[in-house]
């Protein structure tokens, strides 16, 4: 009997063990569950940082798009994705293409999350709410801007609904442009004119973005007006020494830059950081054309955008490196989004397009502002066409490796004249990047919607 | 028992009064009918004894009435009471045949002949002379349905074990390893990637301490492991003391280690000619690239010779075991040091085992297992790393030399340094310090309480604790520490510490009874809790003052560090009943329910029932086939699961992030509250047959396993803001057939036995959500990946363009334009082959003659394809001029009319090097995996050395291979452990050939 009691006790014990709750419900470690991410005032800055974190991945991928799709960079390493850009054999499987596309929509997701949830956070002051919403709209607008000019019209995602966004077609050109402008317009007047530093968007970052938008859409008067707004704000000044722009973050000239430190750069383009691509691995180096151009007297001090090391001069390697993305021990690898010099260039081009090429408040004056800073010869009186050519070259000197060249050549229509001379493999197909293969595979509404030629 | 003790008492009592008398005689056995030499003859209770001579004869003085004990390893000990002076004739019988062997199959044990499921045993003697770095290696070729692939020749490196194919895509395919009832860690422990080749937690366990291994393959055998059982269960039993005189065994093995194969690459002159041609073909001037004949090729280095060495392998083990009626002990200590074939690469292990059993009362027995091991793994980088040693050596340009004219290693800063992407692999081997120090502790305490003859209560508490410390420094003369400018050129140090702990508790209450002499029932219920904890941290430093300072304390900048923790748990209830009707019908039913913390409240619990039945036809009255001693048919059906996904996959979560010096949160994971177990439905039928009095034993099994609800990242379009969600989105099947035959071919003076096994497994993905294929493996030009997971195709499927040969007119590659759109691109990629073999198996022949024994073990794999991805670099058709080329490049197209399979070389033209089946090869092989020849020294010599037994042997592994594969070794997998992209050769270190000699001594 005693034995039987013990057997029963052990039976009970066995059953008790198998229903142990602590074992099955451990607390999540270093994670927040969806529902509590954005409920209180103290959650707001955290999610805002999350938005910037997603946004900044767009910027190095834009450098790859702007400089590498065009004629500024060549491949010097082993990664297939970069070889494709160098040899102009870009495919829809390219990892950099997928990185840019993904970063655009990651940014849009968090922006939409904020737009949906922020109004529900109790106790948030309206000014603060407007500021954070403006940041979300502005960065979403910027993401669509880059997306549109890289891929053509892309799906317009305006909610966080996964079901909707898994099956969403391309928008039209008109819808894209309207969306970008609407998002930017919402943000105007709601952001501080002097953010903590240029790593965060302020009022003039939005105005600079609008200036660039009007430049791209050919609305010259508005482009000039918004560029002038920024230039005349007195918040920014051209740094006297161009090389400071190459080696330093947060110069007085910076309107908005994507903040990177070496420690928190986990890899920005297909998991490889620009610092590593340009400096560590030297996977990508300046093209001979870019070197010649930057070494010209018109370029002047902008030559400091690249450096030379004789030890690297082996085989196909021309020995030159891009210098704009940091050194080993200095925290200076931010990626520039908007800076004052670009505003001068936008205004110069807008003025030239409006036949205002020479004289006071003309394109010539804007160009010479930059030439003088670079200790380069100033330009004299030029025809409109000559001036536009000068501006194209000037943008190349000034904005080299900041992600502009390809976008400029495509929007001005000059790409068909410039690129075939650079690469025999060039095709008009490459005026747009392909939609990543996996997006077409996973989004039924994109079936058959690939850009032509890919 | 009591009667026996009384008898002993009486016997020993009588010793006191006895006079010694001479006793002589001969010992024989069935195998040694004319005299059995070397048998140990001892007067019971004394140390007095003798050893039989070559004719089996002995003579000894012993008191009348005492007992003589005759013993020999592998034979039943016999006792003879001396009645008076006489000539004894003693016949020894071999120890228990396999038929009555008791095997441990999980929570209970069973007589082998009564097994109703599919279980394969591997005994210590099957692998005793092989030089093995880990216990998983011991399974290779030994068991049907078990595919073991060593990923490379790296000592202590990764080994993939797949039982009956691949059942999962995303939740792991490693079998569950249970050692003496303790679930132990498998897979990699190190937290830093070394380019593809991982370390291996199972190499922390010494194969020399293993008694036997049972591989549980079908549902009925493994369903008791429920949610962890889908991939099969390997139950390892370590050695324990046995009742009887204690013995001390000493094993020594020493040998040399060499690569199985060296690649044929170009020399400087050949390469220079090739590169100049490639540049000229691109319309450029080779002189402008500094490629000058007579200058560039003045140096000619064979980099493989520079980084390879002959390694020394040495291994020692000392064990003591024994026991009496109440206590058994097994104590062992071991040391192994294996130098890899790459410079500076070695794996050292030292460990100790203490296994004790103590019977406290007739009712209570307590046992403990204790295993502590420390390894020092001196690692080198490989495979996918440009700065790897072997991977660097085979790619490095022969124009460069490892040492300068003063004999110093060439490093960054020297004009003789090749730099990116060739980083002087000799320096990469010699200079960095990549020490992984691993400590493992497996401790278990179990107690069995016998209530009465029917009820037994057993409980076990155990811990498997793994601790890894990675101590790393890459000097300023290495690629990372010196060349990479963003690291700073002044050294790079990393320190990583992590622990992984499994704590396991189970209790079972069992019941055994026989009714009416014919119905016997064995049943138990039990419960189990398993908790896993992981915690880790790392820190990185750079800008060291000089290479004399190599620890992070001295670093100028410490700007990277992290720490983390993980935890998961499982609670379970289990029950099993076994019924045996008159030794004719055997039936087993089992059930387990698991609750796992990896799943949300909706789907937290999984239920895993199984049942099996066997009919022993040979026990039926109507069965009268004399040649057949045992004939049993079996069938089983049941469900098993797989829960091995990361924790909290069911929650929508945000993790921490940083931007511009601020910290915040960003989305991590999409919620999926319905995330649930992978379930495999398994059906197995089998026949066991014993013929000619056990001289032929065979088992045939056929199975069909279907896995539902595959755990996998369900890909989302990025427009959702996510790339996918962890989901149950697929189905997969494995079906196969297995055959194992053991025969005793000759058992006279010459003994010859054979074990043969062969198995075939067919795997197929049946269903994927949205039917969207998944791309895996490496990225490649011309396809979306090297591998695809696609409905209707097996795992490990390769895709690529279809290479149609080289156009004799232009020398360009021709590819099939599958979609006929006039463009050759990714969308033309098709399935080009599969890494899974059609057949695998092994063949062991054992011979013994007199004192000699010989074992010859072949292992084979037929029909598997290898993607020789290294060829995209070795025969790169001029895509770059940064890598050495294979001698295959000498066959390249050079002028119109050339008929060849190697396209024209043109600098920077990648079209000819698009990813295609040009890189795919047949990976079938037959390999003489091991041979060992042993010799037992005559007993009189052994006894002069105070030894009971002395065996010397020599053995070799990977001695000979037949294959058509052109790479370094057909047994290869750069993505160690991958199931979707297995069988890829990407500069993977070839397997090693080991030649060794050993001594195995038993002290009396």
Note the ipTM here: 0.89
Radius of gyration of chain B (CA): 31
Cα–Cα separations (whole angstroms), residue A59 to A52, A150, A195, A256, B985: 11, 13, 19, 11, 36
Put simply, whether A446 touches B (Cβ < 8 Å) is: yes
Helix axes A203-217, A126-151, angle to 10 degrees: 30
Helices (H), B119-267: 124-127, 219-222
Q: Which of B459, B427, B463, B426 is nearest to B442 (CA)?
A: B463
Q: How far is CA B489 from the centre of its chain?
A: 39
- Using a CB-CB cut-off of 8 Å, the residues of chain B touching A50 are 654, 657, 659, 664-667
CB A279 to CB B656 under 8 A?
no
Residue A367 to residue A359: CA distance in whole angstroms: 12
Is residue B139 within 8 A of residue B215, CB to CB? The reply is yes
Determine which of A207-221, B7-21, B413-427 has the lowest per-residue pLDDT on average: B7-21
Q: Which residues contact A12 (CB under 8 A, 6 or more apart)?
A: none
**Which of B291, B292, B660 should we substitute to test contact with A (largest number of A Cβ atoms within 10 Å)?**
B660
How does DSSP assign B655-689, residue by residue?
A: EEEEETTEEEEEEEE---TT---EEEEEEEEEEEE
A442, closest residue in chain B (CA to CA): B717
Q: Is the pLDDT of residue B801 over 50?
A: yes
Put simply, whether A425 touches B (Cβ < 8 Å) is: no
Beta carbon pairs, A and B, within 8 Å: 286
CB B783 to CB A45 under 8 A?
no
CB A81 to CB B779 under 8 A?
yes
**pTM, entire model:** 0.82
Radius of gyration of chain A (CA): 25
Residue B384 to residue B696: CA distance in whole angstroms: 48
pLDDT score of B661: 81
Report residue B230 as tokens: 């889908």
CB A276 to CB B486 under 8 A?
yes
Is residue B284 within 8 A of residue B907, CB to CB? The reply is yes
Residue B607 to residue B590: CA distance in whole angstroms: 11
Rounded to 5 degrees, φ, ψ at A176 are: -65, -50
Q: Which of A266, A256, A251, A227 is nearest to A373 (CA)?
A: A251
pLDDT score of A262: 61
Greatest Cα pair distance, chain B, in angstroms, is 108
- Using a CB-CB cut-off of 8 Å, the residues of chain A touching B670 are 162
CB A315 to CB B908 under 8 A?
no
Is residue B324 within 8 A of residue B302, CB to CB? The reply is no
pLDDT score of B8: 37
Task: State what percent of residues in chain B have pLDDT above 70.
Answer: 97
pLDDT score of A411: 95
Report residue B145 as tokens: 């349905």
pLDDT score of B684: 93
- Using a CB-CB cut-off of 8 Å, the residues of chain A touching B907 are 316
Average pLDDT over all residues of chain B:
87
Is residue B639 within 8 A of residue B610, CB to CB? The reply is yes
CB B664 to CB A166 under 8 A?
no
Instruction: Report, as an integer, the average pLDDT of B459-484.
Output: 92
What confidence tens digit (pLDDT) does each residue in B924-980 have?
999 999 999 999 888 778 778 888 888 999 999 999 999 999 998 898 888 777 888
B452, closest residue in chain A (CA to CA): A3
Instruction: Report, as an integer, the average pLDDT of B703-709.
Output: 92
Distance from CA of A89 to the nearest CA of B (A): 9
Locus of tokens 């690939």: A450
Of B487, B489, B529, the CB nearest to A23: B529
Is residue B392 within 8 A of residue B364, CB to CB? The reply is no
Is residue B771 within 8 A of residue B791, CB to CB? The reply is yes
- Is the bond into B421 cis (omega within 30 degrees of 0)? yes
CB A17 to CB B571 under 8 A?
yes
CB A32 to CB B665 under 8 A?
yes
Residues in chain B, total: 1004
Residue B605 to residue A229: CA distance in whole angstroms: 64
Residue B48 to residue B71: CA distance in whole angstroms: 14
Is residue B869 within 8 A of residue B786, CB to CB? The reply is yes
pLDDT band at B308, cuts 50/70/90? very high
pLDDT band at B192, cuts 50/70/90? confident
Detail the DSSP E strand segments found in A15-89.
32-33, 73-75
Determine which of B9-13, B217-221, B405-409 has the lowest per-residue pLDDT on average: B9-13
Is residue B619 within 8 A of residue B652, CB to CB? The reply is no
What confidence tens digit (pLDDT) does each residue in B728-746 have?
888 999 999 999 999 999 8
Distance from CA of B653 to the nearest CA of A (A): 4
- Using a CB-CB cut-off of 8 Å, the residues of chain A touching B655 are 30-32
Report residue B843 as tokens: 């063949």
Q: Is the pLDDT of residue B852 over 50?
A: yes
Helices (H), B849-991: 871-874, 939-944
Beta bridge partners of B736: B703, B761
Q: Is the pLDDT of residue B1 over 60?
A: no
- Using a CB-CB cut-off of 8 Å, the residues of chain A touching B503 are none
Put simply, whether A314 touches B (Cβ < 8 Å) is: yes
Q: Which helix (H) or strand (E) holds B445?
A: strand B433-450
CB A105 to CB B647 under 8 A?
no
- Coil, strand or helix: which one is B632? strand
What confidence tens digit (pLDDT) does each residue in B61-74 have?
887 778 888 887 66
What confidence tens digit (pLDDT) does each residue in B250-270 have?
999 999 999 989 999 999 999
Of B455, B527, B718, the CB nearest to A439: B718
Choice between B909 and B333, residue whose per-residue pLDDT is larger: B333
What confidence tens digit (pLDDT) does each residue in B731-784 have?
999 999 999 999 999 888 899 999 999 999 999 999 887 777 888 888 777 777
Q: Which residues contact B884 (CB under 8 A, 6 or more apart)?
A: B265, B266, B271, B303, B394, B395, B396, B397, B398, B874
Determine which of A38-42, B183-187, B291-295 has the lowest per-residue pLDDT on average: B291-295
Is residue A257 within 8 A of residue A249, CB to CB? The reply is yes
Locus of tokens 């196969």: B736
- Using a CB-CB cut-off of 8 Å, the residues of chain B touching A312 are 419
How does DSSP assign B708-760, residue by residue?
A: ES-EEEEE--GGGSSSEEEEE-EEEEEEEEEEEEEEEEEESSEEEEEEEEEEE
Mean pLDDT by 10 residues, chain A (454 residues): 69 65 74 81 92 92 94 88 90 90 96 94 91 96 97 96 93 96 96 91 96 96 96 94 90 92 56 78 91 94 92 81 78 86 96 94 95 95 94 96 96 94 92 93 91 90
pLDDT score of B769: 79
CB B659 to CB A52 under 8 A?
yes
Beta bridge partners of B421: none
**Which of B654, B726, B786, B987 should we substitute to test contact with A (largest number of A Cβ atoms within 10 Å)?**
B654
Rounded to 5 degrees, φ, ψ at B797 are: -80, 130
A437, closest residue in chain B (CA to CA): B784
pLDDT score of B947: 82
Q: Which residues contact B74 (CB under 8 A, 6 or more apart)?
A: B94, B95
Q: Which helix (H) or strand (E) holds A143?
A: helix A126-151
What confidence tens digit (pLDDT) does each residue in B556-615 have?
888 788 888 888 888 889 999 999 898 889 999 999 998 888 888 888 888 999 999 999
**Which of A8, A34, A59 should we substitute to test contact with B (largest number of B Cβ atoms within 10 Å)?**
A34
Q: Between β-strands B176-179 and B233-238, what pairing exists: parallel, antiparallel or unpaired? A: parallel
Locus of tokens 């020692």: B316
Locus of tokens 């088992």: B699
Task: State what percent of residues in chain B have pLDDT above 90.
Answer: 44
Of B526, B557, B664, the CB nearest to A45: B664
Residue B714 to residue A344: CA distance in whole angstroms: 48
What confidence tens digit (pLDDT) does each residue in B502-518 have?
999 989 999 989 888 88
Q: Is the pLDDT of residue B100 over 60?
A: no
pLDDT score of A1: 47
What confidence tens digit (pLDDT) does each residue in B347-376 have?
999 999 999 999 999 899 999 999 999 999
Q: Between β-strands B774-776 and B787-789, what pairing exists: parallel, antiparallel or unpaired? A: antiparallel
Task: Kindly report the number of other CB atoms within 10 A of residue B207's CB atom.
Answer: 25
Cα–Cα separations (whole angstroms), residue B350 to A422, B133, B336, B581: 62, 12, 6, 49
Highest mean pLDDT among A45-49, B50-54, B93-97: A45-49
Put simply, whether B784 touches A (Cβ < 8 Å) is: yes
Angle at B541 between CA B390 and CA B417, to 5 degrees: 40
pLDDT score of B173: 85
Buried b (16+ CB within 10 A) or exposed e, B138-172: bbbbbbbbbbbbbbbbbbbbbbbbbbbbbbbbbbb
- Using a CB-CB cut-off of 8 Å, the residues of chain A touching B528 are 17-18
Residues in chain A, total: 454
Rounded to 5 degrees, φ, ψ at B331 are: -125, 135
Beta bridge partners of B370: B354, B443
pLDDT score of A270: 52
- Using a CB-CB cut-off of 8 Å, the residues of chain A touching B880 are 78, 316
- Using a CB-CB cut-off of 8 Å, the residues of chain B touching A10 are 457, 507, 509
Angle at B720 between CA B785 and CA B679, to 5 degrees: 65
Angle at B734 between CA B729 and CA B736, to 5 degrees: 175
Q: Is the pLDDT of residue B7 over 70?
A: no
Is residue B867 within 8 A of residue B835, CB to CB? The reply is yes
Q: Is B768 left (phi over 0), alpha (psi -120 to 50) or beta?
A: beta
């Amino acid at each position: 009997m005693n034995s039987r009691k013990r057997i029963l006790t052990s039976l009970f014990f066995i059953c008790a063990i198998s229903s142990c709750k602590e074992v099955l419900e451990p607390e999540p470690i270093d994670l927040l569950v969806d529902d509590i991410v954005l409920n209180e005032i103290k959650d707001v800055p955290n999610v805002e940082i999350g938005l910037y974190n997603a946004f900044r991945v767009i910027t190095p991928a834009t450098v790859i798009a702007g400089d590498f799709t065009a004629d500024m960079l060549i491949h010097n390493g082993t990664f297939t994705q970069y070889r494709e850009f160098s040899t102009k054999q870009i495919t829809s499987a390219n990892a950099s293409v997928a990185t840019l596309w993904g970063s655009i929509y990651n940014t849009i997701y968090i922006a939409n999350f904020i737009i949906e949830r922020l109004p529900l956070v109790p106790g948030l002051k309206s000014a603060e709410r407007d500021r954070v919403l403006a940041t979300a709209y502005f960065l979403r607008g910027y993401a669509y801007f880059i997306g549109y000019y890289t891929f053509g019209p892309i799906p317009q995602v305006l909610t966080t609904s996964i079901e909707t966004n898994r099956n969403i077609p391309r928008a039209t050109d008109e819808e894209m442009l309207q969306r970008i402008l609407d998002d930017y317009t919402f943000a105007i007047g709601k952001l501080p004119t002097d953010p903590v530093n240029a790593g965060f968007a302020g009022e003039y970052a939005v105005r600079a973005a609008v200036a660039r938008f009007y430049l791209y859409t050919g609305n010259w008067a508005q482009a000039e007006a918004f560029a002038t707004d920024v230039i005349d704000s007195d918040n920014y000044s051209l740094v006297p020494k161009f090389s400071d722009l190459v080696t330093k973050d947060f110069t007085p000239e910076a309107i908005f830059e994507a903040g990177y430190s070496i420690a928190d750069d986990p890899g920005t383009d297909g998991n490889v950081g620009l610092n590593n691509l340009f400096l560590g691995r030297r996977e990508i180096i300046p093209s001979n054309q870019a070197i010649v151009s930057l070494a010209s007297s018109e370029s002047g001090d902008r030559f400091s955008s690249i450096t030379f090391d004789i030890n690297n001069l082996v085989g196909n390697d021309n020995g030159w490196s891009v210098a704009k993305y940091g050194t080993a021990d200095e925290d200076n690898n931010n990626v520039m989004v908007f800076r004052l010099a670009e505003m001068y260039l936008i205004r110069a081009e807008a003025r030239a397009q409006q036949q205002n090429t020479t004289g006071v408040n003309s394109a010539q004056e804007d160009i010479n502002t930059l030439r003088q800073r670079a200790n380069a010869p100033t330009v004299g009186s030029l025809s409109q066409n000559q001036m536009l050519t000068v501006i194209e070259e000037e943008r190349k000197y000034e904005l080299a490796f900041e992600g502009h060249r390809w976008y400029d050549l495509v929007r001005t229509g000059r790409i068909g004249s410039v690129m075939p001379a650079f690469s025999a493999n060039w095709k008009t197909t490459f005026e747009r990047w392909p939609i990543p293969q996996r997006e077409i595979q996973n989004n039924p509404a994109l079936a058959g919607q690939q850009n032509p030629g890919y | 028992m009591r009667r026996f003790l009384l008898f002993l008492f009486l016997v020993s009592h009588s010793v006191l009064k006895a006079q010694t008398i001479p006793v002589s005689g001969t010992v024989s056995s069935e195998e040694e009918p004319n005299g059995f030499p070397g048998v140990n003859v001892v007067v019971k209770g004394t140390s007095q004894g003798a050893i039989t001579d070559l004719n089996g004869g002995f003579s000894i003085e012993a008191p009348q009435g005492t007992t003589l004990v005759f013993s020999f390893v592998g034979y039943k000990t016999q006792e003879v009471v001396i009645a008076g002076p006489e000539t004894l004739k003693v016949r020894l019988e071999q120890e228990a045949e396999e038929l009555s062997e008791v095997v441990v199959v999980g929570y209970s044990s069973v007589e082998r002949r009564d097994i109703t499921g599919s279980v394969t045993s591997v005994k210590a003697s099957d692998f005793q002379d092989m030089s093995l770095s880990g216990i998983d290696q011991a399974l290779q070729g030994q068991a049907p349905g078990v595919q073991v692939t060593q990923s490379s020749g790296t000592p202590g490196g990764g080994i993939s074990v797949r039982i009956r194919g691949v059942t999962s895509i995303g939740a792991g395919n490693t079998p569950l390893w249970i050692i003496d009832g303790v679930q132990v860690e498998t897979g990699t422990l190190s937290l830093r990637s070394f380019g593809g080749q991982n370390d291996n937690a199972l190499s922390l366990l010494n194969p020399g301490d293993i008694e036997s291994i049972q591989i549980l393959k079908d549902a009925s055998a493994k369903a008791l492991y429920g949610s962890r059982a889908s991939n099969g269960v390997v139950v390892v039993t370590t050695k324990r003391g046995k009742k009887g005189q204690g013995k001390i065994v000493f094993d020594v093995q020493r040998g040399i280690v060499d690569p199985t194969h060296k690649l044929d690459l170009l020399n400087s002159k050949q390469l220079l000619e090739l590169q100049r041609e490639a540049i000229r073909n691109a319309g450029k001037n080779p002189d402008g690239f500094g490629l000058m004949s007579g200058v560039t090729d003045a140096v000619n280095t064979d980099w493989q010779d520079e980084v390879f060495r002959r390694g020394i392998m040495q291994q020692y083990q000392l064990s003591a075991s024994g026991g009496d009626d109440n206590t058994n002990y097994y104590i062992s200590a071991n040391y192994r040091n294996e130098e890899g074939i790459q410079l500076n690469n070695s794996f050292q292990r030292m460990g100790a085992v203490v296994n004790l059993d103590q019977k406290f009362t007739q009712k209570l027995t307590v046992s403990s297992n204790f295993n502590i091991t420390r390894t020092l793994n001196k690692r080198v980088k490989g495979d996918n790393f440009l700065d790897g040693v072997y991977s660097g050596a085979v790619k490095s340009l022969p124009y460069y030399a490892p040492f300068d004219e003063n004999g110093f290693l060439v490093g960054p800063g020297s004009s003789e340094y090749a730099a990116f992407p060739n980083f002087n692999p000799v320096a990469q081997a010699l200079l960095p310090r990549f020490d992984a120090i691993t400590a493992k502790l497996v401790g278990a305490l179990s107690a069995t309480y016998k209530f009465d003859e029917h009820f037994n209560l057993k409980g076990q508490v155990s811990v498997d604790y793994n601790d890894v410390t990675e101590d790393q420094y890459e000097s300023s003369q290495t690629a990372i520490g010196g060349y990479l400018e963003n690291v700073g050129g002044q050294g790079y140090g990393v320190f990583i510490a992590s622990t992984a702990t499994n704590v396991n508790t189970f209790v079972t209450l069992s019941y055994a009874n026989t009714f009416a002499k014919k119905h016997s029932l064995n049943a138990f219920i039990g419960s189990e809790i398993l908790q896993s904890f992981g915690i880790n941290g790392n820190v990185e430093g750079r800008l060291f003052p000089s290479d004399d300072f190599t620890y992070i304390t001295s670093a100028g900048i410490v700007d990277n560090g992290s720490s983390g923790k993980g935890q998961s748990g499982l609670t379970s209830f289990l029950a099993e009943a076994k019924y045996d009707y008159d030794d004719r019908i055997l039936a087993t039913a089992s059930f387990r329910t698991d609750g796992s913390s990896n799943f949300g409240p909706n789907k937290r619990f999984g239920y895993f029932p199984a049942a099996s039945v066997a009919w022993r036809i040979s026990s039926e009255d109507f069965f009268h086939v004399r040649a057949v001693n045992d004939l049993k048919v079996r069938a089983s059906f049941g469900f098993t699961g797989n829960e091995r996904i990361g924790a909290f996959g069911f929650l929508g979560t945000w993790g921490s992030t940083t931007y511009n010096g601020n910290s915040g949160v960003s989305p991590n994971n999409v919620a999926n509250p319905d995330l649930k177990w992978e379930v495999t439905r398994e059906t197995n039928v089998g026949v066991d047959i014993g013929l000619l009095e056990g001289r032929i034993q065979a088992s045939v099994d056929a199975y069909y396993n279907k896995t539902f609800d595959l755990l996998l990242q369900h890909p989302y379009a990025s427009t959702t803001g996510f790339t996918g969600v962890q989901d149950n989105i697929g189905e997969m099947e494995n079906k196969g057939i297995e055959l194992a035959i053991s025969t005793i071919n000759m058992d006279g003076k010459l003994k010859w036995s054979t074990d043969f096994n062969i198995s075939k497994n067919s795997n197929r993905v049946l269903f994927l959500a949205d039917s969207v294929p998944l791309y895996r493996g490496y990225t490649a030009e011309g396809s979306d990946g090297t591998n695809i997971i696609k409905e209707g195709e097996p795992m490990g499927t390769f895709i690529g363009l279809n290479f149609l040969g080289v156009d004799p007119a232009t020398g360009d590659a021709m590819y099939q334009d599958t979609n006929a759109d006039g463009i050759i691109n990714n969308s033309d990629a098709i399935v080009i082959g599969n890494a899974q073999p059609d057949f695998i198996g092994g063949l062991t022949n054992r011979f013994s003659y007199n004192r000699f024994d010989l074992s010859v073990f072949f292992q084979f794999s037929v029909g598997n394809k290898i993607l020789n991805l290294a060829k995209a670099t070795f025969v790169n058709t001029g895509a770059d001029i940064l890598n050495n080329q294979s001698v295959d490049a000498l066959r390249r197209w050079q002028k119109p009319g050339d008929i060849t399979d190697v396209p024209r070389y043109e600098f920077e033209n990648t079209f000819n090097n698009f990813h295609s089946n040009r890189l795919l090869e047949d990976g079938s092989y037959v390999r003489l995996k091991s041979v060992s020849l042993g010799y037992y020294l005559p007993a009189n010599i052994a006894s002069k050395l105070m030894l009971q037994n002395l065996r010397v042997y020599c053995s070799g592994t990977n001695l000979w291979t037949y294959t058509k594969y052109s790479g370094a070794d057909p047994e290869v997998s750069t993505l160690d452990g991958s199931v979707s992209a297995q069988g890829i050769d990407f500069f993977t270190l070839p397997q090693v050939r080991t030649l060794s000699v050993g001594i195995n001594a038993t002290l009396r």
